[in-house]
Amino acid sequence: MSTQQEIRRLTAPDIRARKNGDPIVALTSYHAHTARLVDKYCDVILVGDSLGMVMHGLETTVPVTLEMMILQGHAVMRGSQHALVVVDMPFGSYEASKEQAFASAARVLKETTCGAIKLEGGARMAETIRFLAERGVPVMAHVGLTPQAINTIGSFRAQGREEADWAAIENDAKAVSEAGAFSVVIEAVAEPLARKITGQIPIPTIGIGASSACDGQILVLEDMLGLSPRVPKFVKRYGDLGPGIEAAIKGYAAEVRSRAFPGPDHVYGMKAKKP
């Protein structure tokens, strides 16, 4: 009999059931090694399309492709065993029609074996979310600031700054909830609005720059670790790894340049023959 305890991976219904329960802890990850670390402490790992900016140095998430998402989604699945892995649908892979969205989402679920997808947009995406949810695709929605819309909104500014703008964001959150999303990311909205929405809808809200009034929080891993060169103002840094990594690389480069780095003798247990 195996003494190994079986670890059950969290599912979209498990996360849905966390409404008004323990806060949902979520971070992004794009590769197996960080996924292994994040998996120990998080309920949700998002393979965000932010990988375009973080891994590839792009200015926006718009150029990210479905193939990029699938490749990194697969890596994160291999590195994790407990958290629900959610893979972002990139710009252009789901907006044209509900059929296009289903074809793209089906590829993501089949090729990565992740547990859910995320897509951006509120009321305008409700019909698509219903179509996907009714066909076996768990959908995490994303309202408030939706970075894939950068070319129409003009900047990554906080949303709902005036109370007059709140109704549209509230309406978006209600629409995705009624359409069958199992949770919704609310990005860059003021605390009173996040609190209001969280109290109004029956699915968990996961905030990013939206306060602790939400049912959980998500951050981009590299942002909170102090590895990203540009970080949104709302991000709290929990680490400052950039300087530590640079110091290690600098030390390594100096040792190689001065031929002062250790040889393999201690590993192979033999001394190099003297010429």
Q: What does each C-alpha distance from 141 to 8, 68, 116, 176, 228 come to in angstroms?
A: 24, 20, 11, 7, 25
Q: Map residues 88-107 to x or -, x wherever contact with ligand KIV holds by CB under 6 A.
A: x-------------------
**48 binding ligand KIV? (CB under 6 A):** yes
CA 55 distance to own-chain centroid: 13
* CB of residue 218 to ligand KIV, shortest distance in Å: 5
Binding segment toward ligand KIV, per CB under 6 A, in 41-49, 79-87, 95-103, 128-136 = 41-49
Residue whose Cβ sits closest to ligand KIV: 48
CB closer to ligand KIV out of 197 and 218: 218
Q: Which amino acid is at 239?
A: G
Which residues is 24 bridged to in the sheet? 216
CB closer to ligand KIV out of 109 and 220: 220
Give the separation between CA 155 and CA 139, rounded to whole angstroms.
Answer: 26
CB closer to ligand KIV out of 212 and 249: 212
Residues 9-38 that bind ligand KIV (CB under 6 A): 28
* CB of residue 26 to ligand KIV, shortest distance in Å: 8
Residues 172-231 that bind ligand KIV (CB under 6 A): 185, 208, 218, 220
Residue 45: closest CA among 129, 118, 144, 141: 118
Q: Decide: 115 and 93 in contact? Cβ < 8 Å.
A: no
Q: Decide: 125 and 148 in contact? Cβ < 8 Å.
A: no
Active site residue 134: no
Residue 102: closest CA among 129, 64, 72, 120: 129
CB closer to ligand KIV out of 19 and 234: 234
CB closer to ligand KIV out of 53 and 258: 53
* CB of residue 61 to ligand KIV, shortest distance in Å: 6
CB closer to ligand KIV out of 46 and 125: 46
* CB of residue 258 to ligand KIV, shortest distance in Å: 41
Catalytic residue among 120, 170, 187, 222: 187
* CB of residue 88 to ligand KIV, shortest distance in Å: 5
Give the separation between CA 126 and CA 128, rounded to whole angstroms.
Answer: 5
Q: What is the chain's length?
A: 275
* CB of residue 48 to ligand KIV, shortest distance in Å: 2
In the complex, which residues of this chain contact ligand KIV (CB under 6 A)? Answer: 28, 46, 48-50, 88, 185, 208, 218, 220
Q: Which residues are catalytic?
A: 187
